[in-house]
Structure 1
Amino acid sequence: MAKTLFTPAGAIHLHVQDLPPELSFGPVIAVDTETMGLDPRRDRLCLVQISSGDGVAHLVQIVPGSGPSPNLKALMEDPGVAKLFHFARFDVAALHQGIGATVAPVRCTKIASKLVRTYTDRHGLKDLCRDLLGVEISKQQQTSDWGAPDLTPEQCAYAASDVLHLHALWARLEALLKREGRLELAEACFRFLPARGELDLLGYEDPDIFAH
């Protein structure tokens, strides 16, 4: 049974290990992950956050030794559901390593921002929410212990905030990509992201095989 929290940003449902089979999210979902660190080969997947853009977030806590997550994996691999991420390169690698999912199709607001917001070097989620949506989000819980058996309400609220604004961000960035004639280039980058994540898991981040 899910635990439910209510925050000013919206409702949060916390599940353990997998999503209930009866949940339906629609054709576009926002996704984020929390891990024990920044190396998906070493640092285990702890939490997966999902929202369909309706102000409700579903968090799936991944518990070591608790078995597979078939419903979550199927959603991540569903070709009819687009997955919105911010810095998808890391998240798709973490999901591949953590639950064995080859995530597709993918869209990434960080890549989109870098393609069209070339007047700035600020492409973090906090920056995008502030600059494009006028929304301030907190990063206070970013470095907390996501492997703890009991997540705090503050951790859950932080985790949810990372997906509750991605639909609105993508709408703004997609319009900019179209305006600047770079949507097709962005889509080509997005299609490559699952492979980029697998290359990272194989250790090809350094040296980068695309470097000279």
Structure 2
Amino acid sequence: MNGVGQGTREGKIDGTKISREVINDLPLGKWPGPIRLVTTLKEAEQAAERLILASILGFDTETRPAFKKGQKYDPSLLQLATGDEVFLVQLQSIGLPQPIRDILASTTITKAGVAPDFDLRSLQAIAAFTPAGFVDLARMAKARGIQNQGLRGLAALVCGTRISKSARTTNWANPELTPQQLLYAATDAWISREIYLRLEELPAYRVLDQVFPPGRRR
């Protein structure tokens, strides 16, 4: 698949866990396709028309970091990735429009992300909707005996690629996001979808090295 590494390396992992040192040695992966920034209601409607055609979406949000005790911010960005493009909804500009809420509430579209429950509660604070079709990648990984359950660890162990977290603590509430922020946000949503597709191939309670033996590339 575009931008995804070719599996894990011989002698580097035990099939269920990968170390930070090994992750840092993997090739950097990033979303290679188009990024659609959604900043108006019209753009939200157009995005929803394309998103409704997908059966699986990668899901994530970005929030302005809080550095003081008691500080809390609403999400600034919602990311939804198809296999062909990633949509970034700038929430502080347009809120959470009904067409996007309809996607989040759709029972026919799978939305995959790491620990989406917190993100969904934060989004519901912006606008009311009933989430449906969400899959927690951490729970999927745990059911398959995988110890790395964060996005970066799963990207490395399951997809053989390293994703950058350098923009995580940048100000996502800025009205104009940098190219680095846009790529970072798109990559997180894209890799969430890729991880879901890879985990779907693994039966629950079956570890990776039983499916992909050490030294054998996928």
Residue matched to 2:32 = 9
Aligned residues: 169
Q: Distance in 1 between matches of 2:112 and 2:143?
A: 16
Larger radius of gyration: 2
Higher strand share: 1
Aligned residue runs from structure 1 range 146-185, under 5 A: 146-176=172-202, 178-180=203-205
Is residue 116 of structure 2 the alignment partner of residue 82 of structure 1? no
- TM-score, L = length of structure 1: 0.71
1:37 to partner: Cα distance: 4.1
Paired AA for residue 133 in structure 1 = C
Q: Distance in 2 between matches of 1:141 and 1:105?
A: 28
Q: Distance in 2 between matches of 1:8 and 1:94?
A: 25
Q: Distance in 2 between matches of 1:124 and 1:91?
A: 15
Is residue 144 of structure 2 the alignment partner of residue 145 of structure 1? no
1:114 to partner: Cα distance: 2.1
Residue matched to 2:131 = 103
| 1:62-101: CA deviation from partner (whole Å, max 9, x where unpaired) | 126x465111111111122121111112221122112322
Is residue 50 of structure 2 the alignment partner of residue 20 of structure 1? no
Q: Percent identity?
A: 26
Matched-pair contact (CA < 8 Å) for 2:79–2:189: yes
**1:144 is paired with a residue of what secondary structure?**
coil
Residue matched to 1:57 = 86
Matched-pair contact (CA < 8 Å) for 2:62–2:172: yes
1:17 to partner: Cα distance: 5.1
RMSD across aligned C-alpha pairs, in angstroms? Answer: 2.4
Residue matched to 2:212 = none
Change (3 A) 1:117 1:179: closer
Gaps of 5+ in 2: 1-29, 207-218
Paired AA for residue 89 in structure 1 = D
| 1:22-75: CA deviation from partner (whole Å, max 9, x where unpaired) | 632212211111112479x93212100011122x111010126x4651111111
